[in-house]
Amino acid sequence: MYMRVLKQDLKNNRIVVRPENTTDLYILSNIISIGDQVIAKTSRRIRRSGSEGRSGDESQRITILIGIDVEDFAFQDSSVSNRLRVKGRIFQGPEQHVSIGSYHTLNLELTQSITIIKPEWTKYYLQLLKEAEEASKKPKICLIAVDNSEVCIGLLDNYKISVIAHEKSNISRKRTKQKVRTQEAQTFFEQVATIIKRSILPESKNIVIGGPGFIKERLFVFLKERFPKENLNVIIAGSLSAGNRVGLSELLNLEAVDKLAIDFRIFEENRLLDEFFKRLNQGSTDITYGFIEAKKISNSGAIESLIVLDSFLKGGGGVNPDEINALFREIEKTRGKIMIIPLQSDNANRLKTFGGIIALLRYSLTWD
């Protein structure tokens, strides 16, 4: 299932969507900006007078539809929960239950209708909605980084890696009897299989395993034997430094994953960043970085690709979100590509060094 556009009224800059999975919430976190308006259902606890024969007041939780002027938002992506929280002042709602102008936080949830009103829907934001539908056709990939002490399991989709589980193995050190170590490894692999059955198989049958030593091969054999009827496509990718989040990220650089996800957006992010650093190391003048420099040349047609940290959509870097959206519009006019990188991603640190904004140019530019 993918995010559905239920209604599109661009004349009034209003679009109604319904997110169907957690990736859709992530996409919405890249679409919603400070200064937008969001309308969605929320629950509030209200007080009512005690009924006849009772003393005191009672409280009741009700569901109402309210609209807020967006001042802040945050997407939480973890193995524990996935949610998009949007905060701002209420501009619309039943006045008997809410105070217009007061602050409220909407917890945007799956399968609920959400209305987004922007000052202007640029081509970039409309393209994100279109990509959300196309992304549903791309099979997800389970990534497993494993070593003798731990395992990290993630699910890779078009946009990001979601960490599903991070577990310790409790496999004893080599000086322990081999029989004991074999039993401990069996228990550990059963733990992995349980996670795969519960959280992975409903989403994907593509599994890529990596890690140091021979444990990845042993896990490969175990999974093939444990799920003989599921028709799993299990691949051993290669060696990693560890079975943790770092190892999970290292899997993205291995050929086995690249072949399965060649057209995933996340790999396009990596390619653009790698190209920027390649040109930087070569001393090329067909790149630039920082908001001021990007803005300076935005209407020249020189910018081929702009890569921006998502924090700029919230006023990060000392730049007003309206200025960022104006920059997007200028780049769209000259058919430039725009890529937003989440602050929590591994690529974020590469961007931070250059002010959170970098650009690949169509030709070299020099300034006095």
Domains of the chain in sequence order? 4-44+61-135 (2.30.30.870), 141-260 (3.30.420.60), 265-361 (3.30.1330.30)
Which residue's entry shows tokens 């093939």?
Answer: 224
Grade residue 82 by pLDDT with cuts at 50, 70 and 90: low
- pLDDT-based confidence at residue 29 (cuts at 50, 70, 90): confident
Within 10 angstroms of residue 304's Cβ, the number of other Cβ atoms is 18
Q: Taking the CB of residue 98, how many other CB atoms lie within 10 A of it?
A: 17
Confidence check: pLDDT of 53 > 50: no
Share of the chain above pLDDT 70, in %: 92
Q: Please tell me whether the overall predicted TM-score, pTM, comes out greater than 0.85 for this model.
A: no
Q: Check whether 208 has a pLDDT greater than 60.
A: yes
Residue 233 and residue 91: Cα distance in Å, rounded? 51
Rounded to whole angstroms, what are the CA distances from 313 to 166, 321, 361? 31, 5, 22
Summarize the confidence of residues 159-176 as an average pLDDT: 80
Mean pLDDT computed over 71-85: 74
Q: Contact at 8 Å (CB) between 365 and 288? A: yes
In 3D, which of 210, 315, 318 has the Cα closest to residue 258? 210
Structure tokens at 18: 């319904």
Instruction: Give me the residues paired with residue 220 across strands.
Output: none
Mean per-residue pLDDT, 284-288? 93
Q: What are phi and psi of 151, to 5 degrees?
A: -145, 140
Q: Kindly list the distances between the CA atom of residue 48 and the CA atoms of 53, 58, 60, in Å, as whole numbers in the listed order.
A: 14, 5, 8
User: What pLDDT, on a 0 to 100 scale, did the predictor assign at position 151?
Assistant: 94
Name 173's Cβ contacts closer than 8 Å, sequence gap at least 6. Answer: none
